[in-house]
Structure 1
Amino acid sequence: MSEHTNNSHFVHRSYGLKELATLYFPNIAPASASTRLKHWIMTTPALLNRLIQASYRPNARILSPRQVDIILDEFGEP
């Protein structure tokens, strides 16, 4: 089974929050990117609810493949 989606270069796997954030915000410092992605998550109630149902914790540093997919469903691929 391939980790790639159709015609996409994004690999679906576990990501560190900072790692995923830098994909969404490549032109800012990793710590700032992480803060911005957390802000997006916390200010999108439906997304936050889905993530919590997938065992997300606001202080989590690692996102499961399922949690990453939920974020991608909301924000699209970075």
Structure 2
Amino acid sequence: MNTNTSSHDFKNRSYGLKELAVLYFPNIAPASASTRLKKWITTTPALMDALARTNYRLTARILTPRQVQLITDEFGEP
């Protein structure tokens, strides 16, 4: 359940990694947000395994809706 009280409604769709990262970390630079989101992903083995089954690579710049769903299932909606 999303307890975020922000005014936007999160939509599950394809996102650029940086675009999604900025939603999770709106108060830091986009490049830093991307680095931080990648760190979250790489330090969560079950998520990495699930993403690997979707052909996710750490160098990916675009996330599919399925990959976004796996990330938001793990970390909650931004």
TM-score normalized with structure 2 length: 0.89
Matched to 2:26, the amino acid is P
CA shift for structure 1 position 33: 0.1
Tell me the alpha carbon deviations over residues 8-61 of structure 1, each in whole angstroms, 9 at most, x when there is no partner: 811110000000000000000000000000000000000000001011011000
> How far apart, CA to CA, are the structure 1 residues paired with 2:48 and 2:16?
17
State the distance in 1 between where 2:44 and 2:63 align.
Answer: 17
User: Can you give the 5+ residue segments of structure 2 that lack an aligned partner in the other structure?
Assistant: 1-7
Aligned length, in residue pairs: 71
Output the amino acid matched with 1:42.
Answer: T
Matching residue's letter, 1:65: P
Aligned to 2:67: 67
Q: CA RMSD in A?
A: 1.0
Gaps of 5+ in 1: 1-7
Percent identical residues? 72
Residue identity opposite 1:11 in structure 2: K
2:14 aligns to what? Answer: 14
The residue correspondences of 1:29-48 to structure 2 (distance < 5 A) are 29-48=29-48
* Paired position in structure 1 for 2:4: none
Distance 1:15 1:77 in 2: 13
- What CA distance in whole angstroms lies between the structure 2 residues aligned with 1:72 and 1:38? 13
- TM-score normalized by the length of structure 1: 0.89
Equivalent position SS for 2:12: coil
